[in-house]
Amino acid sequence: MESALSFSPARMLSFSPFRIQARSRFSFFSVSPSFCRNIYTHLPKFPIKLPGRAIFRVSASITAKPSSELRKKPKSSEPDDKLVALRELFSRPNINIDAYIIPSQDAHQSEFIAECYTRRAYISGFTGSAGTAVVTKDKAALWTDGRYFLQAEQQLNSSWILMRAGNLGVPTPSEWLNSVLAPGCRIGIDPFLFSSDAAEELKEAISQKNHELVYLYDVNLVDEIWKESRPKPPNKHVRVHDLKYAGVDVSSKLSSLRSDLTNAGASAIVTTMLDEIAWLLNLRGSDIPHSPVMYAYLVVEIDGAKLFIDDVKINPDVMHYLKNAGIELRPYESILSEIESLAAKGACLWLDPSSVSAAIVSTYKSACDKYFGTAGVVNETNRTSKNGPDGRSSGLTAVYKSSPLSLPKAMKNEAELEGMRNSHLRDAAALAQFWAWLEEEISNGVILTEVDVAEKLLQFRSKQDGFIGTSFDTISASGANGAIIHYKPEPGSCGIVDAEKLFLLDSGAQYTDGTTDITRTVHFGQPSSWQKECFTRVLQGHIALDQAIFPQNYPGFVLDAFARSSLWKIGLDYRHGTGHGVGAALNVHEGPQSISFRFGNMTPLFEGMVVSNEPGYYEDHAFGIRIENLLYVKEVNTPNRFGGLEYLGFEKLTFVPIQSKLVDLSLFSTSEIDWLNDYHKQVWEKVSPLLDGSAYQWLWNNTRPLVKP
């Protein structure tokens, strides 16, 4: 699934430059490349924008066409009651703002979020995972990236202006606010929903017109109008992630982290990214759809740790586990009071400003100023402090650096890789059973909707050992719906799976031992020569990336052109990145690594990282093609090692047939045919022992070798 992230599970208008630390799997050493958690954005625009973090760049005045000029369908012009109610709050004495910004994220910069935090979707009606809404007293605009243009056209009413982020002539949110507001206005945000970096960038951008950024700590305006209909926060139990899947125990991980704190001159770290907390503590939850994480904050000190979480989620077994690990429990809502207490005792906090919220960083700075007369000094190397008579720091009080957990989480150990391999084989068996069923139904003329198909796939997967749930909403898309890159079929409005059209299925699952993500595009009838050419060129790009060998320390963007080259030869391309990171029994969109044309992400691909390989091609209102496998990075033995460098390549995790009849063999080289035949040979050998009956026969039929005429 093209991300974020993700992924992102990613986003054209909510990214900011990110500094990264690379480190060995459990010893963290510093480098400073840029980080991109979500690669799926539209055309490059600078500075680089990274997911989960709003960036508001100021440039020359730009105007954009409103969505009403770009939509094909007329929309109702009735007043939007939600916007009316929201604007009424602007004039409250304790609010007093002229505009309000509603991002997609929760307080942890998550790509997927609990329903109670889907504020941007509630206010705008647009349900895509990436986007930012901006509401003034007389206008409302929604920014999203190329994955969601068609979806946003369909879901926004006439009260909204659709901003196609990344397209020529489309302003960023800050540019737009600077152009539509009179100088000196007050722009409100919920500081929990913006990273510190994003808030600072926004503040600087709008200051060009003397606007003031107003932190509304005590009230979220969307929640105020959502009222009783707002879903309740999740409260399901947390579970321990078995050591045989995690590979390293929590004590060892905490010890490595504390060594990093000492080396950086910090006495504590505040971690807010949910997958980092889950990975570090070897815990998993179910607070967020598709992601096995729980809503929590974590503070790790040199001599202890505190987990901020609703205690209703902690059963006696997990309580005992945490106690043995030296982790105390605190209420989720008490994080700001803890930050102030840490500042009061002179704690030097490690804060990642690209992920930690503006609310937390601002609270810490204010407390530092209150107790020591300093707002916390940015220190990106080792801290040298001056101590007062009581031994507490009297000067430098903060280390602002990228999270030391991001890379070790991404660089899977052997136990994590083994879990990924095993879960992918069980997933492949479920998919073989599904495709055998679907082809039989279609050949018998059974009428199936896109939702019917997605639900049946879920049934097959749910029978596999260790199945927990889907890793994202299944993209089951027939014909023109396949061109909507993040299409989600809905009951009552989805399409019929048409035997005479291309069918794109992008799906994934969460298992106790791994996370899967796979896309296949098929045709149940006779594809046109153009469809076959497009499919073949996408597959050629997929093969080129799969076979890539590259020097160590090279970032993923270096490889992106491999996947596009065949399409470029005839003037085609696709509007998303080629690969995103994937967690091990964690988030399906994971950073810091990516393979994308957005070359601001300088994070190297390290051994053990898992990435997707998913080039595609999409014709609006016609069809979509995408072919996706997951790969992990491995060392490759090359005859030479120029410059003394090691060389890396990829090993496949996904083993599901690629439909041969969509391949135009006249375009294929002998080596490409060999690749496909060898892949199908591996699929048969690895997956057939898990099958019987019609699924076994289907796998046999779809893994036969091809011969070029």
Q: Is residue 317 scored above 90 in pLDDT?
A: yes
* Residue 44 domain-assigned (yes or no): no
Report if residue 620 sits inside a domain.
Answer: yes
- Statement to judge: residues 550 and 672 lie in one domain: yes
Q: What is the pLDDT of residues 84-101, one digit of tens each?
A: 999 999 999 999 999 999
For the ranges 66-80, 153-167, 367-381, the maximum mean pLDDT occurs at 153-167
- At which of 201, 229, 257 does a domain end? 229
- Which residues partner with 504 through β-bridges? 477, 521
Summarize the confidence of residues 362-379 as an average pLDDT: 77
* Count of domains for the chain: 3
Closest CA to 585 of 240, 323, 256, 250: 240
C-alpha distance from residue 163 to each of 167, 188, 222, 620 (Å): 9, 20, 21, 18
Co-location of 590 and 447 in the same domain? yes
Confidence of residue 2 (pLDDT cuts 50, 70, 90): low
Domain final residue pick, 229, 264, 292: 229
Chain mean pLDDT for the chain: 88
Residue 445 pLDDT > 80, yes or no?
A: yes
As a 3-state breakdown, the chain gives helix, strand, coil percent values, each rounded to 5, of 35, 20, 45
pLDDT exceeds 90 at position 395: no
What is the structure's pLDDT at 3?
Answer: 59
Domain presence at residue 30: no
pLDDT over 90 for what percent of the chain? 80
Task: Using pLDDT thresholds of 50, 70 and 90, give the confidence band for residue 58.
Answer: very low
Q: Is residue 57 part of a domain?
A: no
Q: What is the pLDDT of residue 565?
A: 98
SS3 at position 254: helix
Same domain, 134 and 192: yes
Over residues 487-504, the mean pLDDT reads: 94
Total H helices, total E strands in the chain = 20, 29
Q: Assess whether pLDDT exceeds 70 at residue 25.
A: no
Indicate whether 219 and 249 sit together in one domain.
Answer: no
Residue 49 — very low, low, confident or very high, per pLDDT cuts 50/70/90? very low
621-639: pLDDT as tens digits: 999 999 999 999 999 999 9
pLDDT of residue 76 exceeding 60: no
Confidence label for 150 from pLDDT (cuts 50, 70 and 90): confident
Tell me the CATH number at 261: 3.40.350.10
Task: Say whether both 451 and 600 belong to one domain.
Answer: yes
Q: E strand or H helix at 440, and its extent? A: helix 414-443
- Domain encompassing residue 158: 80-229
> Measured on CA atoms in the order 203, 206, 208, 214, is the torsion positive or negative?
negative
What pLDDT score was predicted for residue 313? 97
Q: Above 90 in pLDDT, residue 33?
A: no
Q: What is the pTM for the complete model shown?
A: 0.87
78 band by pLDDT with thresholds 50, 70 and 90: low
Task: Phi first, then psi: give them for residue 515, nearest 5 degrees.
Answer: -130, 135
Angle at the Cα of 228 from the Cα atoms of 226 and 232, rounded to 5 degrees = 95
* For residue 65, pLDDT beyond 70: no
C-alpha 180/C-alpha 290 separation (Å) is 38
Same-domain pairing of 193 and 249:
no
DSSP string for residues in 447-513: --BHHHHHHHHHHHHHTSTTEEEESS--EEEEGGGGGSTT----TTTPPB--TTSEEEEEE-EEETT
Please indicate, yes or no, if residue 61 is contained in any of the structural domains: no
Residue 500 has pLDDT above 80, yes or no: yes
Pairing mode, strands 186-189 and 99-102: parallel
470 and 612: one domain? yes
Give the pLDDT mean for 268-274: 98
Q: Which of 219-233, 236-250, 590-604 has the lowest mean pLDDT?
A: 590-604
What CA–CA distance (Å, rounded) separates 263 from 330?
27
Instruction: Tell whether 646 is covered by a domain.
Output: no
Q: What is the DSSP string of 162-226?
A: EEETTSTTPPPHHHHHHHHSPTT-EEEE-GGGSBHHHHHHHHHHHGGGT-EEEE--S--HHHHHH
Asked whether residue 73 is assigned to any structural domain, the reply reads no
Please tell me the predicted confidence (pLDDT) of residue 351. 97
Please give the pLDDT value at position 148: 87
Same domain, yes or no, for 403 and 429? no
Backbone angles phi, psi at 546, to 5 degrees: -60, -35
Of residues 643 and 79, more confidence is placed in 643
C-alpha–C-alpha distance, residues 253 and 273, integer Å: 16
Q: Are residues 525 and 578 in the same domain?
A: yes
Residue 471 lies in a domain: yes
Q: 288 and 156, same structural domain?
A: no
Tell me the one-letter amino acid at 276: E
Indicate the residue among 199, 229, 259 that finishes a domain: 229
The verdict on 555 and 676 lying in the same domain is yes
3-state secondary structure of 116: helix
291 and 365: one domain? yes
For residue 620, the domain's CATH number is: 3.90.230.10
Q: What is the pLDDT of residue 374?
A: 63
**Residue 151, pLDDT score:** 87
Q: Could you report the per-residue pLDDT of 415-436, keeping only the tens digit for each?
A: 999 999 999 999 999 999 999 9
